[in-house]
Amino acid sequence: MRVLGIDCGGQYTGYGVVEMHPSGRLVTLVCGAIKLSPREALPRRLARIFGELGAIIAEHRPDEVAIEDVFYALNVKSALKLGQVRGVAMLAAAAAGLEVAEYSPLTIKLAVVGYGRAEKQQVQHMVTRLLELAKPPEPMDASDALAIAICHLHTAGTLDRQRTAARLAAD
């Protein structure tokens, strides 16, 4: 299975495509971040995110997309902008016919680090180890996107095994 993880943000939107081989080995196909200029009008920034995510989807052909779920934000204006970026990311996936899974920050950290309150550097360190990367992914948004993809791969694998076990028990 191949998953595109997206870490939505107002200045940087991180992305990472991770593939899980039948052996269980995780491989990074691409990662990075779409850097947005705060001087650029919001509609242009959103169009850029949509276009670049669409190009990544077309090139790497993920099976599914995973993004971070909405979390509590003190700044209402920032939360609204984040919601717009998330909507555009979902639209890019839906336009390509892909399913979108959403995970809370706590769930992502639990899946990758084993501790739901882990710091960003701990997540980056575990992503580097799990994907056997020579150096930590930069910027941190790329690392977070890879963590989201890893979380989905582990969660999807567990759900698939549970469905298989339930089918076998029913037969």
* pLDDT per residue as tens digits for the range 121-151: 999 999 999 999 999 999 999 999 999 999 9
DSSP helix/strand/coil, 41: coil
Q: Has 68 been annotated as catalytic?
A: yes
Instruction: Return the C-alpha torsion angle 55, 121, 21, 68, nearest 10.
Output: -50
CATH assignment of 2-170, among 3.40.47.40, 3.30.420.10, 1.10.1740.10, 1.10.240.10: 3.30.420.10
Report the pLDDT value the prediction gives residue 71, as an integer from 0 to 100.
67
Buried b (16+ CB within 10 A) or exposed e, 119-148: eeeebbbbbbebbeeeeebebbbbbbbbbb
Give the start-to-end residue ranges of the domains of the chain.
2-170
Interval 2-18 mean pLDDT: 95
* pLDDT per residue as tens digits for the range 20-33: 999 989 999 999 99
pLDDT classification of 165: cutoffs 50, 70, 90? low
Q: Which of 64, 141, 144, 160 is catalytic?
A: 141
Angle of helix 76-95 relative to helix 42-60, nearest 10 degrees, comes to: 40
Report the pLDDT value the prediction gives residue 44, as an integer from 0 to 100.
96
* pLDDT per residue as tens digits for the range 82-98: 899 999 999 999 999 99
Q: Which of 19, 68, 69, 138 is catalytic?
A: 68
Lowest mean pLDDT among 28-37, 65-74, 85-94, 158-167: 158-167
Q: Has 141 been annotated as catalytic?
A: yes
Q: Which of 7, 40, 59, 119 is catalytic?
A: 7
- Please, are residues 63 and 54 in contact by the beta-carbon 8 Å criterion? no
pLDDT classification of 79: cutoffs 50, 70, 90? confident
The pTM of this model reads 0.91
